[in-house]
Amino acid sequence: MPARIRNQLAQQIVDTLKTICSHDINFIDIQGRISASTDPARVGEYHFGGHNAAQSGQVIVIGQDDTLNSMRQGINMPIRFHGSTVAVIGITGEPEEVQKYADLAQRITLLLLREHEIDSRNYDTRTQTGYLVRALIDREPVNPEFVSEVLERNGLSDKAEQWRAMVIQLKESHVHTLSAIEAAAQNVTKRLGSCLYAYRFPDEYVLIVKERDSARWEKALRALAADWPEDIRAGIGSARRLSRQDLSFQAAKLALQSLETGENFASYESIRLEILLGSVSEHAAKTYMEKCLKGLDQGDKDLLNLYFACEMSLKQTADRGFQHVNTVQYHLRRIRDRCGLDPRRFRDASLLYTALRIDAMNK
């Protein structure tokens, strides 16, 4: 059963959330009692919708005031912390109006809960592990004895092994799925174990796993990415010593940058050109991209991406783009006239392809 959140922290949360919107905020415990509110008169009241949200783990929308159950219109969002529902945040008001604050309200609440966990000096295994992960990927100095202690608490050893950093990024998700995605990511770590794991505000989970365990972790992350194709992205870094997980983390981020439209999983082992592009200065890459793609609009870029995805086959491009082959040829000639590079020539096509990859990595 999750630990009860003190009323003082609950009030701090609702007061902070009040600064982002003009609506009343309620902090509802898992028994349905309003333990903090921007409307003092409601503190201590039982909230039927909030209790329902806590028990079901689903966002409960109240379309209109319900005087019988002492409920006002608004939305009630369960907050999951360390894998359990710990409270419900209720925002009072017209649902369509307050909906736009819901995602941000959840994120701020989770941030305050995590900050409180650290400020209270509750250095349990989870907190120490999170600190170690952040120190490793930021390459901050860490006492070797502390490293050994944290590894031992997680059932791990630092005996001359290779490790990999893995990153799960949350996209801007709909309020109804945000908590569920976070819970799913946390469940993967609980199920597989044998890893170092930390959350990085506002949208990243970072895992550090042993190289010998990386195959099963990759399988699990692929499955997670497949379950949430519109909501998360996952990347796997290179194999490095534990002390150089900053390099593995950078490789995982590079893999994420390599993702093309419609993709949400990438491994550093599977990328090639992006390794080179990642070492080029931002100014040089942008200058190259602008020079090669000068004069092209988004429609031209979309056609080129499809053309290259079809291995420069006119027929496949026409079929997948629902166009006639002659139409595709006309568009390719127009691209040549606009930017001076001919997509039908190998040398020019390679220049255009590289520029498009830079363009995709910068989005």
349 neighbors 268 (Cβ within 8 angstroms) = no
Q: Is a pLDDT exceeding 90 seen at residue 109?
A: no
Phi-psi region of 322 (alpha: psi -120 to 50; beta: other; left: phi over 0): left
164 neighbors 214 (Cβ within 8 angstroms) = yes
Range of weakest confidence among 1-5, 212-216, 331-335: 1-5
pLDDT confidence of residue 121: 45
pTM: 0.55
Mean pLDDT over 344-361 rounds to: 85
Q: Which residues pair with 266 in a beta bridge?
A: 235
Q: Is a pLDDT exceeding 70 seen at residue 174?
A: no
Look at the block and give the residue holding tokens 């609980």.
Answer: 190
The 10s digit of each residue's pLDDT in 8-33 is: 888 888 998 988 888 999 999 999 99
What does each C-alpha distance from 306 to 198, 311, 332, 353, 356 come to in angstroms?
A: 38, 9, 12, 11, 11
Q: Is a pLDDT exceeding 60 seen at residue 112?
A: yes
Q: What is the DSSP string of 100-113?
A: HHHHHHHHHHHHHH
Strand 240-241 to 162-170 pairing:
antiparallel
Domains contained in the chain, CATH given = 7-119 (3.30.450.40), 125-271 (3.30.70.270), 280-361 (1.10.10.2840)
The 10s digit of each residue's pLDDT in 218-259 is: 999 999 999 888 888 999 999 999 999 999 998 898 888 878
